[in-house]
Amino acid sequence: MNTGFGQNPPSPMPAQRTYTCSWCGTVSDGTALSCPSCGATINVKAIVNPAGWMKAPGRKDMAKLNFNKSVCQIEGKYVPVADFNLAPEDGVYFAHHVLLWKDPSVPITMMPLRGGWKRALAGMPVLMTQAHGPGRIAFSRDAPGEMLALPLQPGHRVDVREHLFLVATHAVAYDFFQTGVWFTTKNGDESETHYPLGMMMDRFSTGNLPGLLLLHASGNVFVRELAPGQAILIKPTALIFKDSTVSMHLHFEHPNSGWQLWMSWQQRYLWLRLVGPGRVAIQSAFEPVEDDGASITNSSPATRQNW
Amino acid sequence: MAYPQSPSTGTPPAQAPIERIQCQWCQGINEKTALTCQFCGATLDIRDLVSESGWREAPRIRDMTEIHFSRSTCQVEGEIVPVAEINLAQGDAVYFEHHVLLWKDASVPMSVLQLPGGMKRMLAGMPFIISVAGGPGRVAFSRDATGEIVVLPLHPGMELDVREHAFLLASNNIGYSFVRIKGLRNILFGGQGMFMDRFITQNTAGLLVLHGYGNVFERVLRPNETILIEPGAFLYKDSSVRMDVQAQQLTSGLFGGTAMSLALMTGPGRVGIQSMYVHHVTE
């Protein structure tokens, strides 16, 4: 009978070490230098300012992101490159103008899109291209900024402002929708409709499988989690993405002044008002919003404040 | 037979081993105590950043790094839009496209490089005049966008082709010419324009400084190895690398399809690309 007496005691089970990424929530064993899903540096505390904005995580150059059986390596500092090593069963889709280089053996084909005419009218890319493994393919954009890795958990949905999308894995479904954010101005006999956020927004969602979404933002990226009912005003063109649970509408502010100049009643600040719950991300380099100061004759639902 | 002995010690003088560090970027040989390569400014105390796909990042040149060429020096200043500040010795000179000149000592004399084919250059949209600044004195150069300065010391007998308008400066012992890009398809859809700058060294080494938009990566292609790159991303290549245009046909039922032109680079030799490329509209 084996009593175990005189034998070496069984070695204790090693403590299960886990690390939860503060950026994407992925749980790993924390032995790597960076999060395997989004590349965020491990053991560096997320930088949060008193207002609640969190700076996008630092990422070591050449950080590797794993998805399914493939790997994405992020290279460079000013205009980062996403360098994919696609496994045979994996694929990605992208707007064709972000392709930087590829192995000659990697086939690229068109991805069918609905509503091509609407996209053409809205100035969005009409063509979406896709590439399949095996092989290597790399992407980058044409402006200095940060590459934002968003690993999407099953059942997740995010809305992204137009022209910021870089590449997504095939597990991420793509759709687009009308922003519903607009106003019309009248100058003499001329009437003009403005879309401060663009006519359309991209929507990315996952079903039962997780996926990886990469965005390229101009300048630096900051993210904030809004509580239910909590509101924040941002410049419309600074928006990168929001969880689809976050609602949005226009907000006009008219500043007060001790004495009014001629036509100064037309001075106004045009904001996008975002209401939680959910995440909101902004970029620090953004285009000025077109607003000629002409009289607003109509708009999508909006709030106003006169100071 | 006994070797003659040193009268002072009685033993033959021992040759101490000479330790040197070879720069992984430009292959220049440096003193073992050096932290940065004196020929290209690359840091010697960190490993090259090479991706799994074989692209090597151009070395991040530390702010205020000094690079030596001939009897002159080049100091790289700043990080977002770096400046190359040249301290020219008497007898040394650099040439450059006039729009990259940032500042100079009032005493630095300027002249013009004699170029053949001026009319061709003008028609192709290349600078008609290449300026020359001679020493002694200081002169500084920068470009108009975020990017990296790429220092390429050219060893004797090298030939390098550079995308037009991408070169910042070259020392005057480097020969300059320009080559017409072969093939109408290459010119129309290749995105490089009609000409490329060609830099050649004969018997003496020289310094070539480029500015790449965004980040710069380099890959060494083996003989007949190929890679497809976005034409606007091309920055430089060894003249042994062949460049062709390959159209990627993309078809769609609704819109009939389109063609995307990519540059097919075939080795052997180095290829340099920039990550913030000039985008060229597809057909």
Cα–Cα distance for residue pair A286/A237, rounded to 1 Å: 6
- The shortest CB-CB distance from A110 to any of B49, B251, B277 is to B251
The number of helix segments (H) and strand segments (E) in chain B equals: 2, 23
Cα–Cα distance for residue pair A87/A135, rounded to 1 Å: 7
pLDDT reported for residue A1:
36
* Contact assignment for A142 to B146 by CB distance below 8 Å: no
DSSP, collapsed to helix, strand or coil, labels residue A7 as: coil
Give the DSSP H or E segment for B188. helix B184-189
pLDDT reported for residue B119:
64
Q: Mean pLDDT, to the nearest integer, of A50-78? A: 84
Sign of the Cα pseudo-torsion (B134, B138, B139, B142, in order): positive
DSSP category for residue A263: T
pLDDT reported for residue B260:
78
Judged by a CB distance cut-off of 8 A, whether residue B107 touches chain A is no
In chain B, residues 257-276 whose CB comes closer than 8 Å to chain A = 257-258, 260, 262, 264, 273, 275-276
Q: How far is B119 from chain A (nearest CA, A)?
A: 32
- Predicted confidence (pLDDT) per residue in A230-242, tens digit: 999 998 999 999 9
pLDDT reported for residue B50:
86
Structure-token pair, residue B149: 């300065």
Q: Mean pLDDT, to the nearest integer, of A103-116? A: 83
Encode A11-31 in three state secondary structure. Answer: CCCCCCCCEECCCCCCEECCC
Is B222 a residue whose pLDDT tops 90?
Answer: yes
Of A113-117, B204-208, B230-234, B272-276, the one with minimum mean pLDDT is A113-117
Q: Mean pLDDT, to the nearest integer, of A110-127? A: 69
* Contact assignment for B227 to A103 by CB distance below 8 Å: yes
Question: Tokens 């009308």, residue?
Answer: A178
Judged by a CB distance cut-off of 8 A, whether residue B48 touches chain A is no
Q: Confidence class of residue A262 from pLDDT cuts 50, 70 and 90?
A: very low
Which among A184, A181, A273, A203 is positioned nearest to A232, based on CA atoms?
A273
Q: Confidence class of residue A177 from pLDDT cuts 50, 70 and 90?
A: very high
* Contact assignment for A85 to B52 by CB distance below 8 Å: yes
What is the percent of chain B where pLDDT is above 90? 40
- Cβ-proximal residues to B106 (8 Å cutoff; 6+ apart), any chain: none
Return phi, psi of residue A268, to 5°. -160, 155
pLDDT reported for residue A11:
46
Of A71-85, A205-219, A236-250, B109-123, the one with minimum mean pLDDT is B109-123
pLDDT reported for residue B126:
63
| CATH top class, domain B34-274 | alpha beta
**pLDDT, averaged across chain A:** 83
pLDDT reported for residue A4:
38
Q: Mean pLDDT, to the nearest integer, of B5-28? A: 63
Which domains does chain A show, CATH number per domain? 19-306 (3.60.160.10)
The number of helix segments (H) and strand segments (E) in chain A equals: 1, 27
Return phi, psi of residue A72, to 5°. -120, 130
Q: Which ipTM value was assigned to this complex?
A: 0.75
Q: How far is A149 from chain B (nearest CA, A)?
A: 18
pLDDT reported for residue A63:
86
Is B5 a residue whose pLDDT tops 50?
Answer: no
The count of residues in chain B is 283
Is A171 a residue whose pLDDT tops 80?
Answer: yes
* Planar angle of CA B107, B109, B113, nearest 5 degrees: 160
Strand ordering across the sheet containing A145-152: A108-111, A128-132, A91-94, A165-169, A211-218, A145-152
Of A170-174, A290-294, B33-37, B105-109, the one with minimum mean pLDDT is A290-294
pLDDT reported for residue A47:
59
In chain A, the residue whose alpha carbon lies closest to the alpha carbon of B213 is A79
Q: Confidence class of residue A264 from pLDDT cuts 50, 70 and 90?
A: very low
Q: Confidence class of residue A188 from pLDDT cuts 50, 70 and 90?
A: confident
Is A64 a residue whose pLDDT tops 70?
Answer: yes
Sequence ranges of the domains in chain B: 34-274
pLDDT reported for residue B142:
92
Cα–Cα distance for residue pair B83/B101, rounded to 1 Å: 10
Highest-scoring range by mean pLDDT, B24-28, B39-43, B147-151: B147-151
- Predicted confidence (pLDDT) per residue in A16-34, tens digit: 567 787 777 778 877 777 7
- The shortest CB-CB distance from A144 to any of B251, B254, B276 is to B276
- Burial letters B146-155, b for 16+ CB under 10 A, else e: bbbbbbbbbe
Chain A residues within 8 Å of chain B (Cβ atoms)? 61-62, 64, 71, 73, 75-81, 83, 85, 96-97, 99-104, 108-110, 112, 116, 126-127, 129, 136, 138, 140-144
* Contact assignment for B60 to A104 by CB distance below 8 Å: no
